[in-house]
Structure 1
């Protein structure tokens, strides 16, 4: 999988369409969750895009401290369903962590993790903080990496 990092203004219309289609495919359809994905924050984010054979198979968006949370953050972590057995979740997350460290000069990163993925995020150095909560009807937990 090849990784690209782009600001919103650097995305072409095909890339933006493919990113939004992938997010909708997983977060709305697969997870059966009606929510407002287009939240106005994409314009502030760095977009971490994983491609395989010119198809977007993994994606995250990252924010500097103060743009989403008080800390730098990673969100909209997604891997295409038929590509999940190849370890691309770990690859895209490591690329996202590196992008934050390089672009925003910080190692402190906060995420709002779906609870069933706590073990995965823990393996990347994130630790649980706070109590669990529902976000768009899905159990989540705050996690932080320092």
Structure 2
């Protein structure tokens, strides 16, 4: 499996890339997880988009969010791996690239995520720690987590 990735601001995404990332987000967040929510939240235009390809197919995606848009800190959101690539280690690769991308784009600082609680061990293994109380988002239990620089 040959992996490539790119990180682009919204205005540099071409229509095919935009379609692919929105389709993947819809496939998992709306259809698979049975969440009826408006995914297009008017934040995409101000974010960077990490597209991870396996053999030229979009396999995973995340949104790199600047500080003061979702949280006071930069954030990683809309973390998703295509069902076709689950169990291949691409989720970890995606998050490692996302952390690196945030550090390059926004400088070394705390990164915040809103994690689905079932994935706590995964995010903890990447250096994130719980920060706050659990909450319900679209019927799925979440908790905010932070990762300090360094």
Q: TM-score, normalised by structure 2?
A: 0.95
Q: How far is 1:106 from its partner?
A: 2.4
Partner of 2:52: 50
Secondary structure of the 2:41 match is coil
Equivalent residue in structure 1 for 2:135, among 133, 136, 140: 133
RMSD: 0.7
Flag as ranges the 4+ runs of structure 1 deviating above 3 A: none
The correspondence of residues 1-146 of structure 1 with structure 2, limited to 5 A, is 1-146=3-148
Measured after TM superposition, the shift of residue 137 of structure 1 is 1.2
Deviation (angstroms), 1:55:
1.1
The one-character-per-residue Cα deviations of 1:21-49 (angstroms, maximum 9, x if unpaired) are 00000000000111110001000111011
How many residue pairs align between the two structures? Answer: 146
Following superposition, the deviation at residue 103 of structure 1 comes to 0.9
In structure 2, how many angstroms separate the alpha carbons of the residues matched to 1:48 and 1:33? 23
Stretches of structure 1 lacking an aligned partner (at least 5 in a row)? none
3-state DSSP of counterpart to 2:42: coil
Secondary structure in 1 aligned to 2:93? helix
Query: Is 1:72–1:106's contact at 8 Å kept on the other side of the alignment?
Result: no
Q: What is the TM-score normalised by the length of structure 1?
A: 0.98
Distance 1:27 1:50 in 2: 18
